[in-house]
Amino acid sequence: MEAHFRMNGSSLKIFTGNSNPVLAKAICQSIGAPLGQATVTAFPDGETFVKIDENIRGADVFIIQSSCSPANHHIMELFIMIDAARRASAQRITAVLPFYGYARQDRKDQPRVPITAKLVANLLVAAGATRVLTMDLHAQQIQGFFDIPVDHLYASPVFFDYLKNHKKLEKLIIISPDVGGMKMAAAYADMLGAPLGYVAKRRVSSTHVEAVNLVGEVEGMDVLMIDDMTETAGTLTAAAKLLKERGAATVRAAVTHGVLNEHGFARLKNGPLDELITTDTTPIDTRGLPITVLSVAPLLGQAISRIHGNESVTGLFQIKGF
């Protein structure tokens, strides 16, 4: 198996921390590669300890780690695993972040605040990463925070496949739950041949959002809201409530990163959203709620195979069947 995955004499090695081992195993299974053996534990005081339990000298190493909750702990695991791989003489180290945490802190929008997305980028490079593979960044300009190659994938092919094969939404309209997501929503609307609209919102606090206005005609329509991530589900449920009040027949949301907390689960349980469609970039327990989890493992697996073989990943952006 190892002989099949070689690039200029460099063997493919895939490792994972503790953030999302299920996804890492699914990625390896999708491309027929073994998951590397590594010890990633913590000392009693919380310090992370890493030991790579196999020879990786001269190897092409991929470390899969989402920065989901607890975000700081999982990011430190990733930094330390990268440093361990660098000191073990890996030829190339690709940090695979299905979910790139701190991406919302991508600019100075208030006095005396940091740009933490840039800080994380600097720390990844300082730790020894020579390449980054990630998916649906909250802000695409984050790619420019790196001075190393960044492969940025989109979950849209996975969502399109699900909608095509499992949902017959004849009166479909695409809605962005906020003005900032209009570009992403417009891409979905163009591909699906559906009209486009958006909800204007007002953020009251970090956990409370009010939907104040709607642009678009939704009466009798099947609404699909598009967003990159949800944590408290405040934006989605507030928008869904307004859409239902304006006569929408059904309201669904397709969100790449479902980093739901207790506020989010409570709102989904009591709110008007008919279905939340998300992916396994972060672990998610559906808790019997109308949450559909799609796997991005085959997509990430293909990307890893192509990067390892020095092939283009452009073909992974193509949508088939539309």
The residues annotated with a catalytic role in the active site are 201
16 vs 36: CA distance, rounded Å: 8
Place of tokens 């590669």: 33
Evaluate whether 184 touches 225 at the Cβ level (below 8 Å): no
Evaluate whether 240 touches 269 at the Cβ level (below 8 Å): no
Per-residue 3-state assignment (H helix, E strand, C coil) for 49-86 = EEEECCCCCCCEEEEECCCCCCHHHHHHHHHHHHHHHH
* Beta-carbon contacts of residue 205 (< 8 Å; ≥ 6 apart): none
260 vs 263: CA distance, rounded Å: 8
CA dihedral 82, 86, 299, 284 (to 10 degrees): -20
CA dihedral 113, 116, 117, 121 (to 10 degrees): 140
Count of H helices and E strands in the chain? 8, 15
Evaluate whether 151 touches 134 at the Cβ level (below 8 Å): yes
Locate 269 and state its tokens. Answer: 């349980």
* Beta-carbon contacts of residue 21 (< 8 Å; ≥ 6 apart): none
2 vs 121: CA distance, rounded Å: 31
Distance of CA 212 to the CA centre of its chain: 28
Helix spans in 214-295 (H): 234-245, 262-270
Sign of the Cα torsion 53, 54, 60, 64 reads negative
